[in-house]
Structure 1
Amino acid sequence: MIRKTLLLASAFALFAVSVQADERYKVIRPVIIESGIAGEWMTQLSGPVRARVLRKVERRQVQYRTVRRAGLFSRPVVQQVTYRAEKPPIEQMEPQFLPQVVEYETKYRPGTIVIDTNNRFLYLVLADGKARRYGVGVGKPGFEWAGEHRITRKAEWPEWNPPQEMITREAAKGHILPAHMEGSEANPLGARAMYLGSTLYRIHGTNAPWTIGYAVSSGCIRLRNQDVVDLYERVKVGTRVIVI
């Protein structure tokens, strides 16, 4: 009798576990990505996914209840948060685009700026066949240009007044640009600007340092903020600028 009772109890227990397992796998639960991991993962993606809502796990210490209450453990609390992945840190920029003194034979006099748009380099010509080289971002396809100008004005933390054609062009893409933006770290012109002749072109900083080395601008030459500050201190109004 006792043996029969034990067998029935065991069968009931196995049935209960089976039912519980079936119930558990009836629902496909969403994958929960913790914010620390998602940051690295999402930098590899583009488009709307950058602004999607993710689930964040708030970890709590495991709490043991008394044996009398079946030894339960607390579960992680899941809360909805808006997460936007950060861009790669500027230290990840390719080494050739970091400021450095290089061998540079040229016919231009020391103090001249030469911008090689094909290779994404700006050279500040030095004496003895050398130059100080910076990585730059240049005009995207359709916005390339070449020529010679001089720096006619310099500005620290410049204001940004996008031209009307840029405002119209970006509006057609669904991007609404401000008519005016005060100088700040969020300003696309960055920390410094050097204006070229009477054109709309500038050598300036950027609020997007990960774009250095790419053809992304509307014709302006952009540097990392720390690099444009360095260049700004080395040149004067009247400096000759050659864009090739």
Structure 2
Amino acid sequence: MTQRRTFLLAGGAFLAAPGVLRAQVSDPWFRGNAPTRRNMSSFRAQRWEDHFSKRGVVSILADTSSRALHYWSADLSDYRLYPTSVPMTDELTRRGYTSIVRKRVGPDWTPTVSMRERNPDLPAYMPPGPDNPLGTHAMYLGWPAYLIHGTHDTRKIGRRSSSGCIGLYNEMIAELFSITPVGAQVRLI
């Protein structure tokens, strides 16, 4: 009887383990329905003053080392933190200050020449839709071919997987898109 009781208790603990693991990765700054365990330990609240000289209408910091995007509203009443995908290599990573210059729901995609050189199987053009690598929403930065956008491939979030852009879960880019105006200041570090 003791062996059976031990086996049942151990089995129950094993089945409960995924719930316990999920509870351990919860973060008070994390807003969203699709948490990732790949890099949650590196998520740290940031101070806008450490990255910008003044508050803008909105301030966005994309931190490529922690693979996180930080959002501050103009009056600082709203701070949000999102997990992201980041560029595959440092050579593909643009760092510095820019801004959101336009936004688009249902973006289409044209790979750059360098993307097609790296992967000749890429299509020349892809219309909006479920296979589009830009996901459901895109915010275009002041640098050509650099965006903050969604992705249908959720395996990319938390990884070095993009060709230069910052990627978010589609649900999260939709939320960020709705609260971020054109002209928002952005810094990539």
Give the alignment's TM-score, normalised by structure 2.
Answer: 0.71
Secondary structure, in 3 states, of the residue corresponding to 2:92?
Answer: coil
**Counterpart in the other structure of 1:192:** 137
Measure how far apart 1:145 and its partner are: 2.4
Identity over aligned pairs, percent: 34
Deviations 1:83-121 (A, max 9, x none): xxxxxxx85722875xx9x75322132620011110001
Determine whether 1:105 maps to 2:52.
no
**Counterpart in the other structure of 1:237:** 182
**Counterpart in the other structure of 2:114:** 165
Deviations 1:11-60 (A, max 9, x none): xxxxxxxxxxxxxxxxxxxxxxxxxxxxxxxxxxxxxxxxxxxxxxxxxx
Secondary structure, in 3 states, of the residue corresponding to 1:204?
Answer: strand
Aligned partner of 1:94 among 30, 37, 60 = 37
Written as runs of structure 1 = structure 2, the 5 A alignment for 1:1-244 is 91=34, 93-94=36-37, 103-107=45-49, 108=52, 109=55, 111-126=58-73, 127-128=75-76, 131-141=79-89, 142-171=91-120, 176-244=121-189
Inter-CA distance 167–233: structure 2 relative to 1 (3 Å threshold): same
Greater RCO between the two (CA within 8 Å, min separation 6)?
Answer: 2
> Which sections of structure 1, spanning at least 5 residues, go unmatched?
1-89
CA distance in 1, matches of 2:81, 2:92: 23
Secondary structure, in 3 states, of the residue corresponding to 1:161?
Answer: coil
> Which sections of structure 2, spanning at least 5 residues, go unmatched?
1-32
Measure how far apart 1:167 and its partner are: 1.0
CA distance in 2, matches of 1:128, 1:193: 24
CA distance in 2, matches of 1:188, 1:138: 14
CA distance in 2, matches of 1:95, 1:229: 22
The number of residues matched between the two structures is: 148
Inter-CA distance 103–169: structure 2 relative to 1 (3 Å threshold): closer
CA distance in 2, matches of 1:160, 1:194: 13
CA distance in 2, matches of 1:198, 1:95: 29
CA distance in 1, matches of 2:165, 2:76: 29
CA distance in 2, matches of 1:144, 1:125: 23
Give the alignment's TM-score, normalised by structure 1.
Answer: 0.56
Query: Is the CA contact (8 Å cut-off) linking 1:122 and 1:136 kept in structure 2?
Result: yes
Q: Which runs of 4+ in 1 moved over 6 A?
A: none
